[in-house]
Structure 1
Amino acid sequence: MNYRIRTFAEQLLFVLNIFIAFILFFEDKLVLPAWLQSVGRLHPLILHFPIVMLFIAMLMGLFRFRPENESNPYYLAFLQNLLLSGVILAGITVIMGLFLSREDGYSGSTLLWHKWTGAGIFFLGSVIYWFRNKAWYRGKVAQAVSLLCIGGLVVTGHYGAALTHGANFILEPLASESAVAAVPVEQAKVYEHVIKPIFEQKCVSCHNQDKLKGELMLTDMQSILKGGKSGKLFVPGNPQISLLLERIHLPMEEKEHMPPSGKTQLTAQEVSLLALWVRNNADFKLKVTDLANGDSLRVLATSYLKPATTKQEEYDFSPADEETVAKLNTDYRTILPLARESPALAVNIYNRNAYTSRQLEELEDIKKQIISLNLNKMPVKDSDLSIIAKFENLRRLDLNFTDITAGGLKALAPLKHLHSLTLSGTKVSYQDLSAQINQLKGLKTVTLWDTGLATEDIEKLRKANVQITFIGGFKDDGKNPLQLNPPQVKNPSMVFNKNISVQLRHPIKGVEIRYTTDGTIPDSLNAPVFSHMDIHQNTQITARAFKKGWYGSVPIIFDFLKNTYIPDSVRLLLPLNRVHQAEGAHTFFDGKLGAIGANNPAWANNWAGVRDNDMVLVSGFKQPVTISSVGLHYMIEEDTGIFPPDVVEVWGGNDPTQLKLLTKFKAALPSKGDRPSLKMTAGNFKPQQVTWLKIVAKPLNSIPDWHRNKGKKALLLVDEMFIN
Structure 2
Amino acid sequence: MHIRLKRFAEQILFASNIFIAFLLLFENKLVIPPWLQTIGRMHPLILHFPIVILLLAMIMEFFRFRTENSANTFYRNYSQNLLLVGSLFAAVTVTMGLFLSREEGYSGETLIWHKWTGSALFFVASIIYFVRNKRWYKAPIAKSAALITVVALVLTGHYGAAITHGENFIFEPVSSQKEMAVVPLEKAEVFNDVIKPILEQKCVSCHNPEKMKGELVLTDPKSILKGGKTGKLFVPGNPQISLLLQRVHLSINDKKHMPPIGKTQLTTEEIALLSIWVKENATFNKKVMALPATDSLRVFAVARLKPASKEEEVYDFSAADEETVKKLNNDYRTVSEVARESPALSVNIYNRSAFNASQLDELEEVKKQIVSLNLNKMPVKDSDLKSVSKFENLRKLDLNFTDITAKGLKELTTLKYLESLTLSGTKMDFKDLQAVIPTFKNLKTISVWDTGIASSDLEKLQKANAKITFIGGFKDDGSKPLKLNLPQVKNSSTIFAQTIPLQLKHPIKGVELRFTTDGTEPDSIKSPVFDGKTVLTKNTTIKTKAYKSGWLSSDVATFDFFRSAYKPDSVNILFPLDRVHQAEGDKTFFNTKLGVIGANNPAWANNWAAVKENDMALVCEFKKPVPISSVGVHYMVEEDTGIFPPQLVEVWGGSNPKQLKLLTIFSAQLPSKGDKPSLKSVESNFKTETVTYLKIVAKPLNKMPKWHRDKDKKALLLIDEMFLN
Aligning the two structures, in what range does the TM-score lie when normalised by the shorter sequence?
0.7 to 0.9
Matched, 1:106 2:101: no
SS at match of 1:397: strand
Work out whether residues 333 and 350 of structure 1, in 8 Å CA contact, stay in contact via their aligned partners in 2: yes
Structure 1 match to 2:667? 666
Matches within 5 A, 1:596-611: 596-611=597-612
Counterpart AA for 1:307: A
**How many residues are aligned here?**
681
Work out whether residues 189 and 286 of structure 2, in 8 Å CA contact, stay in contact via their aligned partners in 1: no
SS at match of 1:203: helix
Structure 2 match to 1:218? none
Structure 1 match to 2:272? 268
Instruction: Describe the shift of the 1:599–1:197 C-alpha distance in structure 2 as closer, same or farther (beyond 3 A).
Output: closer
Residues 53-112 of structure 1: CA deviation (Å, up to 9, x unaligned): 1333456679989999888755553332113433565688799999989x96437xx999
Structure 1 residue runs without a partner (length 5+): 216-223, 234-238
SS at match of 2:534: strand
Tell me which of 343, 352, 355 is aligned to 2:353: 355
Tell me which of 177, 188, 196 is aligned to 2:193: 196
Matched, 1:33 2:31: no
How far the C-alpha of 1:463 sits from its partner, in A, is 1.2
Structure 2 match to 1:366? 363
Counterpart AA for 1:106: E
Paired with 1:338 and 1:48, the residues of 2 have a C-alpha distance of 35
Paired with 1:142 and 1:680, the residues of 2 have a C-alpha distance of 59
SS at match of 1:450: coil
Work out whether residues 491 and 503 of structure 1, in 8 Å CA contact, stay in contact via their aligned partners in 2: yes
Paired with 2:122 and 2:384, the residues of 1 have a C-alpha distance of 58
Structure 2 match to 1:642? 643
Paired with 1:84 and 1:563, the residues of 2 have a C-alpha distance of 53
Paired with 1:49 and 1:346, the residues of 2 have a C-alpha distance of 39
Counterpart AA for 1:78: Y
Structure 2 match to 1:585? 586
SS at match of 2:633: strand
Structure 2 match to 1:316? 317
SS at match of 2:362: helix
Structure 2 match to 1:556? 557
Instruction: Describe the shift of the 1:59–1:416 C-alpha distance in structure 2 as closer, same or farther (beyond 3 A).
Output: farther
Paired with 2:558 and 2:191, the residues of 1 have a C-alpha distance of 37
How far the C-alpha of 1:595 sits from its partner, in A, is 0.7
How far the C-alpha of 1:574 sits from its partner, in A, is 2.8
Paired with 2:242 and 2:613, the residues of 1 have a C-alpha distance of 35
Instruction: Describe the shift of the 1:370–1:604 C-alpha distance in structure 2 as closer, same or farther (beyond 3 A).
Output: farther
Matches within 5 A, 1:440-519: 440-473=440-473, 484-508=484-508, 512-519=512-519
Work out whether residues 609 and 716 of structure 1, in 8 Å CA contact, stay in contact via their aligned partners in 2: yes
Structure 2 match to 1:220? none
Work out whether residues 700 and 715 of structure 1, in 8 Å CA contact, stay in contact via their aligned partners in 2: yes
Work out whether residues 121 and 152 of structure 1, in 8 Å CA contact, stay in contact via their aligned partners in 2: no
- RMSD after superposition: 5.5
Work out whether residues 483 and 554 of structure 2, in 8 Å CA contact, stay in contact via their aligned partners in 1: yes
Paired with 1:154 and 1:667, the residues of 2 have a C-alpha distance of 50
Paired with 1:135 and 1:498, the residues of 2 have a C-alpha distance of 69
How far the C-alpha of 1:520 sits from its partner, in A, is 2.9
Paired with 1:686 and 1:532, the residues of 2 have a C-alpha distance of 36
Counterpart AA for 2:86: G
Counterpart AA for 2:518: D
Matches within 5 A, 1:334-413: 336-342=336-342, 344-348=344-348, 355-358=353-356, 360-366=357-363, 368=367, 370-377=370-377, 382=382, 385=385, 388-389=388-389, 393-413=393-413
- TM, length-normalised to structure 2: 0.74
Structure 1 match to 2:216? none
Structure 2 match to 1:629? 630
How far the C-alpha of 1:436 sits from its partner, in A, is 3.2
How far the C-alpha of 1:675 sits from its partner, in A, is 0.9
Instruction: Describe the shift of the 1:665–1:143 C-alpha distance in structure 2 as closer, same or farther (beyond 3 A).
Output: closer
Instruction: Describe the shift of the 1:493–1:689 C-alpha distance in structure 2 as closer, same or farther (beyond 3 A).
Output: same
Paired with 2:259 and 2:387, the residues of 1 have a C-alpha distance of 38
Work out whether residues 372 and 394 of structure 2, in 8 Å CA contact, stay in contact via their aligned partners in 1: yes
Instruction: Describe the shift of the 1:389–1:96 C-alpha distance in structure 2 as closer, same or farther (beyond 3 A).
Output: same
Instruction: Describe the shift of the 1:144–1:575 C-alpha distance in structure 2 as closer, same or farther (beyond 3 A).
Output: closer
Matched, 1:302 2:302: yes
Work out whether residues 320 and 343 of structure 1, in 8 Å CA contact, stay in contact via their aligned partners in 2: no
Structure 2 match to 1:80? 80
Instruction: Describe the shift of the 1:36–1:42 C-alpha distance in structure 2 as closer, same or farther (beyond 3 A).
Output: farther
Instruction: Describe the shift of the 1:230–1:280 C-alpha distance in structure 2 as closer, same or farther (beyond 3 A).
Output: closer
Paired with 2:497 and 2:387, the residues of 1 have a C-alpha distance of 62
Instruction: Describe the shift of the 1:639–1:65 C-alpha distance in structure 2 as closer, same or farther (beyond 3 A).
Output: closer
Instruction: Describe the shift of the 1:214–1:45 C-alpha distance in structure 2 as closer, same or farther (beyond 3 A).
Output: closer
SS at match of 2:109: coil
SS at match of 1:409: helix
How far the C-alpha of 1:586 sits from its partner, in A, is 1.6
Paired with 2:114 and 2:689, the residues of 1 have a C-alpha distance of 59
Counterpart AA for 2:500: I
Instruction: Describe the shift of the 1:574–1:69 C-alpha distance in structure 2 as closer, same or farther (beyond 3 A).
Output: closer
How far the C-alpha of 1:606 sits from its partner, in A, is 0.9
Paired with 1:596 and 1:130, the residues of 2 have a C-alpha distance of 50
Residues 390-436 of structure 1: CA deviation (Å, up to 9, x unaligned): 55554333333445443443454454443322233334232232233
Paired with 1:391 and 1:41, the residues of 2 have a C-alpha distance of 48
Instruction: Describe the shift of the 1:377–1:669 C-alpha distance in structure 2 as closer, same or farther (beyond 3 A).
Output: farther
Residues 8-66 of structure 1: CA deviation (Å, up to 9, x unaligned): 8779989999999x99xxx9xx9962549999999866542222113334566799899
Work out whether residues 540 and 560 of structure 2, in 8 Å CA contact, stay in contact via their aligned partners in 1: yes
Residues 235-288 of structure 1: CA deviation (Å, up to 9, x unaligned): xxxx9999xxx99959769xxx9x9977866633156469979859545xx7x4
Instruction: Describe the shift of the 1:11–1:71 C-alpha distance in structure 2 as closer, same or farther (beyond 3 A).
Output: same
Paired with 2:335 and 2:685, the residues of 1 have a C-alpha distance of 70
SS at match of 1:486: coil
Structure 1 match to 2:708? 707
Counterpart AA for 1:52: V
SS at match of 1:708: coil
Residues 316-335 of structure 1: CA deviation (Å, up to 9, x unaligned): 364366587567533x6555
Range 189-198 or range 394-403, more displaced: 189-198
Instruction: Describe the shift of the 1:440–1:73 C-alpha distance in structure 2 as closer, same or farther (beyond 3 A).
Output: farther
Structure 2 match to 1:435? 435
Structure 2 match to 1:595? 596
How far the C-alpha of 1:471 sits from its partner, in A, is 1.1
Structure 2 match to 1:722? 723
Structure 2 match to 1:695? 696
Paired with 1:609 and 1:584, the residues of 2 have a C-alpha distance of 10
Instruction: Describe the shift of the 1:8–1:194 C-alpha distance in structure 2 as closer, same or farther (beyond 3 A).
Output: same
Paired with 1:603 and 1:350, the residues of 2 have a C-alpha distance of 42
Instruction: Describe the shift of the 1:677–1:499 C-alpha distance in structure 2 as closer, same or farther (beyond 3 A).
Output: same
Work out whether residues 627 and 688 of structure 2, in 8 Å CA contact, stay in contact via their aligned partners in 1: yes
Counterpart AA for 1:614: D
Matches within 5 A, 1:3-18: 3=3
Instruction: Describe the shift of the 1:560–1:263 C-alpha distance in structure 2 as closer, same or farther (beyond 3 A).
Output: farther
Counterpart AA for 2:200: C
Counterpart AA for 1:33: N
Residues 191-228 of structure 1: CA deviation (Å, up to 9, x unaligned): 289943654553389999xx97699xxxxxxxx9x987
Paired with 2:166 and 2:535, the residues of 1 have a C-alpha distance of 48
Work out whether residues 229 and 597 of structure 1, in 8 Å CA contact, stay in contact via their aligned partners in 2: no
Instruction: Describe the shift of the 1:480–1:19 C-alpha distance in structure 2 as closer, same or farther (beyond 3 A).
Output: same
Matched, 1:419 2:419: yes
Q: Percent of pairs identical after alignment?
A: 51
How far the C-alpha of 1:462 sits from its partner, in A, is 0.6
SS at match of 1:701: coil
Structure 2 match to 1:678? 679
Structure 1 match to 2:253? none
